[in-house]
Structure 1
Amino acid sequence: MSQMTLLWVFIGAGLATFLIRLSFIAVEGRVRLPAWFRTALQFVPAAMLSALIAPDLLMRDGAVFVSPHNARLIAGVVAIVIAARTRSVGWTIAGGMAALIALEALI
């Protein structure tokens, strides 16, 4: 693929992303969304984050790897416990990363 074609792909993708996001901002207050839809939107961030993180915690080499030897899974559980206790993003990231580094050194 030529560099010029690749440039047009990037410009098109950026424009499409911009317009999709702008559409939600532009219709804010003008369109009344159903209550069930507004309620469902509250769960989108958690669902997206789970969809991004779960495969990294639960899989290795394309297969499910739930084991005490899975350092990422154990560090993820540690991070979940820290998040539930402290409600602090900073402590959750720091504790989860510290657990991961320590576990990868041990396992």
Structure 2
Amino acid sequence: MMINTWMVLGMAAVTVFIKAAIFVLGGRVSFPPLLQQALGFVPVTVLTAIIVPMILAPHGGGAELDWRNPQLVASIVAILVSAATRRQLLTIVIGLVVFFGWQALMPV
């Protein structure tokens, strides 16, 4: 129990130190242009790493690459709508309609 407490306190201290350093140093630190460009891809990369496993293996097992997977079907439709229209809200709405409609139509 005591080891867990020290571990949590240590992680909290490291987190606070990192956030405080960023806040204090703020504008005084400048990154090279190549690093700034690379950091621009971090949000897309993280979201992709979270979303792709949820689409391909929605139940946590192996990949479910068939037409009965509503996540996969809705994702494909959303990608096509996004590529065709470039409208985020329309992509989200159509993706959700396809997802819930596909779930309602597919037998259990």
Query: How high is the TM-score relative to the length of structure 2?
Result: 0.73
1:67 aligns to what SS in structure 2? coil
List gaps (5 residues or longer) in structure 2. none
1:29 aligns to what SS in structure 2? helix
- Quote the sequence identity (%): 35
Task: Name the Cα RMSD after superposition.
Answer: 2.6
C-alpha distance in structure 1 between counterparts of 2:77 and 2:104, whole Å? 16
Q: Tell me the equivalent position of 2:30.
A: 32
C-alpha distance in structure 1 between counterparts of 2:63 and 2:95, whole Å? 21
Stretch deviating more after TM superposition (26-35 or 12-21): 12-21
What is the CA deviation profile of residues 39-79 of structure 1, one whole-angstrom value per residue up to 9, with x for unaligned ones? 11111111111111111100034211111221110101111
Q: Tell me the equivalent position of 1:57.
A: 55
In the alignment of these two chains, the number of paired residues is: 101
2:27 aligns to what SS in structure 1? coil
Cα displacement (A) at 1:34:
1.8
Q: Tell me the equivalent position of 2:95.
A: 96
Query: How high is the TM-score relative to the length of structure 1?
Result: 0.73
Matching of residues 1-107 of structure 1 within 5 Å: 17=15, 20-59=18-57, 60-107=59-106
Stretch deviating more after TM superposition (23-32 or 12-21): 12-21
Structure number with larger C-alpha Rg? 2
Cα displacement (A) at 1:13:
6.9
C-alpha distance in structure 1 between counterparts of 2:76 and 2:16, whole Å? 36
Amino acid at match of 1:65: E
